[in-house]
Amino acid sequence: MQDPTTFVNWFRNSAPYIHAHRNRTFVIFFSGAAVTETGFDSLIHDLAMLKSLGARLVLVHGIRPQIDERVLQQGDTPKFHHHLRITDINTLRYVKQAAGLVRVEIEALLSMGVSGSPMAGAKIRVASGNFVTAQPLGVLAGIDYCYTGKVRRIDAEAIHQQLDQQNVVLISPIGYSPSGEVFNVSAEEVATEVAIALHAEKLILLTDQLCLSPVDKQPIQQLTADQAGRLLQQYPDMPEPVVHSLNAAIQSCRRGVQRAHLIDRHVDGGLLLELFTRDGVGTLISSQEFETLRPATLDDIGGIMELIKPLEQQGILVKRSREKLEMQIGDYIVIERDGLIIGCTAFHVMPDGQNAEIACLAVHPEYRKGARGNRLLEHLTQKAAQQSIERLFVRSTQTAHWFVERGFLPCEIADLPEPIKMTYNYQRNSKVFYKTIA
């Protein structure tokens, strides 16, 4: 191992996620195209690892290219309208063939256990079944979709029974009617409805491409379901695969799924990177904000102390005891990102009600390029204005220019409000600045 320290640090940092994912239900969708590619073996290995770490897995696979291949082999032409397949009686036969073949191939890969391979000792049991009840899509805009269907009901109880027996549940995009008919159903729709019916913690969509911002073409890291909905309204011409995945994520989050993840399936190890690192590699859609700025509580003291400890050791911040933090916790504001305190500051109002001091402004080193310091400062400035504070004061030994660039002016110690002057540490020799609140 070339760098054992890096490995140890990564493993330690992944521990909270290992604990968090144990006994949680994840519904994972991957397309039929993913099954045909050489990297699919690696995905199976990652799924096996996820299962070994205690996650309850429901896998939903697609079969579109496999159906097209059989249609073309018979000299027919695949029929679509508005990107939906028209499944006539002949195509339905190909649908059944494709679904059976892909299911068997996936089961075979999940059954591997050759000594020395990533699957050694996995012993994964796979359960499939008629978990999806479907109904015909019907006639839309004069087009009869024949045996193309939509999900009517998911047998959540039966799936939970299989998961309780430590089985991986594998579901094909096939639905059955009470009258015994078979329908070709969208795999993404099946995955979405299964996740909702199971009250799954996560819906994970392994997509054919990254979810990029229409503005700067950079990957989108996270959105709430409402933000994602507004994005689609504002930019209706986003790539069709991304639109489908975003709509699935939005629907699932609005109907009880905590989080949905869109991961580019071409990223080797993307599933593990998304689930076991704080920032992941995909796009997170959540029902609530992934990162929030809020008042601190007593439960945050440990996180605040961990955040400011390196800065105290460097002499950038004054050392604060746990007791002092507990007494002043009502003055603190934090930025929380997926359970980690990545930013904090304190807002101490003077007894005169006209002056206040900013203290303990800190941002985690890995998140200092995201303007979070500005966000904290702007929040305190707005808070000061709301409370009719006239002047904000701050003491600094090493970040003076940062405050000057944001409108703070130097002042003399003699000009400080009495409570600040009484606690001034002449040994630290901090520079003092103030800002007038309009």
Mean pLDDT of 46-68: 95
C-alpha triplet 53, 55, 57: angle, nearest 5°: 130
| pLDDT at position 111 | 87
Give the pairing of strands 84-85 and 80-81.
antiparallel
| pLDDT at position 232 | 95
Mean pLDDT of 135-153: 92
Whether residue 122 is predicted with pLDDT greater than 80 in this model: the reply is: no
| 8 Å CB contact between 336 and 296 | no
Tokens 């079944």 found at: 129
DSSP 414: G
187-224 pLDDT, tens digit per residue, is 999 999 999 999 999 999 999 988 999 988 999 999 99
CB atoms near residue 342 (< 10 Å): 22
d(CA 270, CA 276): 10
Tell me the two tokens of residue 232. Answer: 């689609």
377-387 pLDDT, tens digit per residue, is 999 999 999 99
| 8 Å CB contact between 271 and 308 | no
Mean pLDDT of 411-438: 90
State the span(s) of the chain assigned CATH 3.40.630.30: 292-436
Across 233-257, b (16+ Cβ under 10 Å) vs e yields eeeeebeebbbbbbbbbbbbbeeeb
pLDDT band at 114 (very low <50, low <70, confident <90, very high): low
Please name the residues in contact with 167: beta carbons below 8 A apart, sequence gap of 6 or more. 125, 126, 127
CATH architecture of 4-290: 3-Layer(aba) Sandwich (3.40)
Whether residue 231 is predicted with pLDDT greater than 80 in this model: the reply is: yes
d(CA 171, CA 182): 14
Look over the chain and give the mean of its residue pLDDT values, rounded to a whole number.
92
| pLDDT at position 315 | 87
- From start to end of 355-437, where are the E strands? 355-363, 391-396, 409-410, 431-436
d(CA 167, CA 355): 62
State the span(s) of the chain assigned CATH 3.40.1160.10: 4-290
The pTM assigned to this predicted structure is 0.80
Tokens 């379901």 found at: 225
| pLDDT at position 75 | 87
H/E element, 340: strand 340-349
Mean pLDDT of 82-89: 89
Rounded to 10°, the helix 240-254/225-234 angle is 150
H/E element, 304: helix 301-313
Pick the CATH number of 292-436 from 3.30.420.40, 3.40.50.720, 3.20.20.70, 3.40.630.30: 3.40.630.30
| 8 Å CB contact between 232 and 253 | no
Tell me the two tokens of residue 101. Answer: 């073949």
